[in-house]
Amino acid sequence: MAKKLMKGSEAIGEAAVQAGCRLFFGYPITPQNEIPEYMSMRLPQVGGRFVQAESEVAASNMLYGAAGTGERVMTSSSSPGVSLMAEAISYLAGAELPVVIVNIMRAGPGLGGILPSQGDYFQATKGMAHGDFRLLVLAPWSIQEAADLVQDAFDLADFYRNPVMIVGDGLIGQMMEPVEFTDTREPIKKLEPKTWAATGNPGDRPNNVINSLFLDPEALERHNVKLKAKFDSMVRDEVRYAEYRTDDDYDLLIVAYGTVARVCSTAIDELQEQGLKVAMIRPITLFPYPFRAVRDAALKANQVLVVELSAGQMIEDVQLALEGSRPIHFCNRMGGMLVSPDEVVDKVRAIVDGQSTEVSHG
Partner 1 sequence: MAETVFSRPQALADVTTHYCPGCTHGVIHRLVAEVVDELAVGDRTVGVAPVGCSVLAYNYFTTDFHEASHGRAPAVATGIKRARPDLMVFTYQGDGDLASIGMAEIVHCANRGEKVTVVFVNNAIYGMTGGQMAPTTMPGQVATTCQLGRDVEQAGHPIRVAELLSTLRTPGFIARGSVHTPLLAVNAKELLRRAFTYQKEGTCFSLVEILSTCPTNWGIPPAESTAWLEENMLPYYPLGIFKEPEGRDRAPLPAPGG
Q: Under the rule (CB under 8 A), what is the footprint of partner 1?
A: 23, 25, 49, 51, 53-55, 57-59, 61-69, 71, 73, 87-88, 91, 95, 198-203, 207-213
Minimal distance in Å, beta carbon 90 to partner 1?
9
Minimal distance in Å, beta carbon 273 to partner 1?
53
In one letter, which amino acid is 223?
H
CA angle, 207 then 210 then 211, to 5°: 115
Question: Which 8-state DSSP code applies to residue 116?
Answer: B
In this complex, which beta carbon is closest to partner 1, that of residue 66 or of residue 284? 66
Query: If we measure between CA atoms, which residue out of 1, 23, 48, 19 comes closest to residue 187?
Result: 19
Beta bridge partners, 136, equal 164
In this complex, which beta carbon is closest to partner 1, that of residue 19 or of residue 280? 19
In this complex, which beta carbon is closest to partner 1, that of residue 49 or of residue 189? 49
Minimal distance in Å, beta carbon 225 to partner 1?
20
In this complex, which beta carbon is closest to partner 1, that of residue 74 or of residue 284? 74
* Sequence-separated (6 or more) residues with CB below 8 Å from residue 41: none
In this complex, which beta carbon is closest to partner 1, that of residue 25 or of residue 250? 25
In this complex, which beta carbon is closest to partner 1, that of residue 193 or of residue 275? 193
Minimal distance in Å, beta carbon 154 to partner 1?
15
Q: Are 256 and 264 in contact, with CB atoms under 8 Å apart?
A: yes
Q: How many CB atoms lie within 10 A of CB 53?
A: 18
Question: Which 8-state DSSP code applies to residue 6?
Answer: E
Long-range contacts of 318-322 (CB under 8 A, 24+ apart): 318/255, 318/294, 319/359, 319/361, 320/291, 321/289, 321/291, 321/292, 321/294, 321/295, 322/294, 322/295, 322/298
Minimal distance in Å, beta carbon 151 to partner 1?
20
What separation in angstroms does the CA of 322 have from each of 199, 292, 314?
A: 48, 9, 13
In this complex, which beta carbon is closest to partner 1, that of residue 48 or of residue 116? 48
In this complex, which beta carbon is closest to partner 1, that of residue 68 or of residue 283? 68
Beta bridge partners, 105, equal 169
Question: Which 8-state DSSP code applies to residue 56?
Answer: H
Minimal distance in Å, beta carbon 242 to partner 1?
35
Minimal distance in Å, beta carbon 59 to partner 1?
8
Residue 80 exposed, middle or buried by CB count within 10 Å (0-12, 13-18, 19+): middle
Minimal distance in Å, beta carbon 114 to partner 1?
24
